[in-house]
Amino acid sequence: MVEEKKVVDEVSGWLRVFDDGSVDRTWTGPPEVKFMTEPVPPHDQFIDGVATRDVTIDPGSNLRVRIYFPEEHQDPTSETKLPIILHFHGGGFCISQPDWFMYYQVYTRLVKSVRAIVVSVYLRLAPENKLPAAIDDGYAALLWLKSLAKGGSNEPWLNTHGDFNRVFLIGDSSGANIVHHVAARGGSIDLNPLRLAGAIPIHPGFVRSQRSKSELEQPESPFLTLDMADKFLALALPKGCTKDHPITCPMGSAAPQMEGLNFPPMLLCVSEKDLLKDTEMEYYEAMKNANKDVELFISPEMGHSFYLNKIAVDMDPVTGAKTSELIQGIKEFIDKH
């Protein structure tokens, strides 16, 4: 008789860890939300103005990316090159994929609004792959773009239409933590002929082991509860580390001094009612004090990752309007860099 596996850890709805180390990420929360976690297959033909394809960028590690390409730009004779946006998805380093519908619906929209090519990385997930695995993957994708820029390898959409002089990093939630760390790594080496033109951390998962005022006072949202944040980070951080680790607390005493780091211009996006607002603002102040070029984009009345919640974006006019404003703010930042 086969012994049944026992659940040793669980993050409500999202993930279960078993005693043999295996992980089940089947969505078990409200069924009406499940569509947001469904994968969207790649399509080389244009659907609503965007085509997508999945590309393996490192056969050795099987690291893949999803590329989003806007339709108006398929004319091969066009001289105008498009900015390239390297995207790191959220999910507390433990869940989600670039092909999930929740990202698809936002990043196809961004591609059309900004007129850019988005490259979204299939990051390795914890707890099977503890941090810094996801950051290493993000950095490997940046180095892949550098190899394309040098002509060392070729990806037709990017090599024909991409402007390697205008590469931006963008990330949602824990993906915004990856933006910070990949930008810092990229700033420490010669990326020529690629240029990192900007970085856009959206609602980063910056925390401390001690609860902030906003964590204690702000309402929990569908995409972030204190339980989710605590459990995901406990599963993701290296063994024995607390939330004061530099990956989750880059403004803390354990992290490298900001002054010594080389960053591109940054647009930090914060939600007024985010549980993590106070620690995100601490990061903003630390960047300002280190004389870094950082702008702040605040979404009033909104919670963590509100723009990914397709139901709220469609049904609630305020969430819909704030999502449009966020995309416009990102567009304006990219246009001027």
Which H or E element spans position 108?
A: helix 101-114
Q: What does the block give as tokens for 71?
A: 């339709």
Contact status, residue 263 vs residue 199, Cβ threshold 8 Å: yes
List all residues 6 or more positions away from 235 whose beta carbon is below 8 Å from its beta carbon: 9, 11, 17, 93, 94, 126, 127
Matching residue, tokens 């999910």: 91
SS3 32: helix
Closest CA to 63 of 98, 91, 29: 98
Beta bridge mates, 202: 172, 269
Give catalytic status of residue 304 as yes or no.
yes
Which H or E element spans position 88?
A: strand 82-88
Closest CA to 94 of 173, 207, 200: 173
DSSP 214-267: HHHHSPPBTTB-HHHHHHHHHHHSPTT--TTSTTT-TTSTTSPPGGG-----EE
The active-site residue, picked from 96, 120, 173, 221, is: 173
- Please state, in angstroms and as integers, the Cα–Cα distance from residue 177 to each residue in 174, 243, 301, following that order: 5, 13, 23
Give catalytic status of residue 99 as yes or no.
no
The active-site residue, picked from 99, 136, 274, 278, is: 274
Contact status, residue 299 vs residue 319, Cβ threshold 8 Å: no
Q: How far apart are the C-alpha atoms of 57 and 50, rounded to whole Å?
A: 21
SS3 107: helix
Q: What does the block give as tokens for 328?
A: 């416009």
Residue 123 identity: L
The active-site residue, picked from 73, 161, 245, 304, is: 304
As annotated, the active-site residues are 173, 274, 304
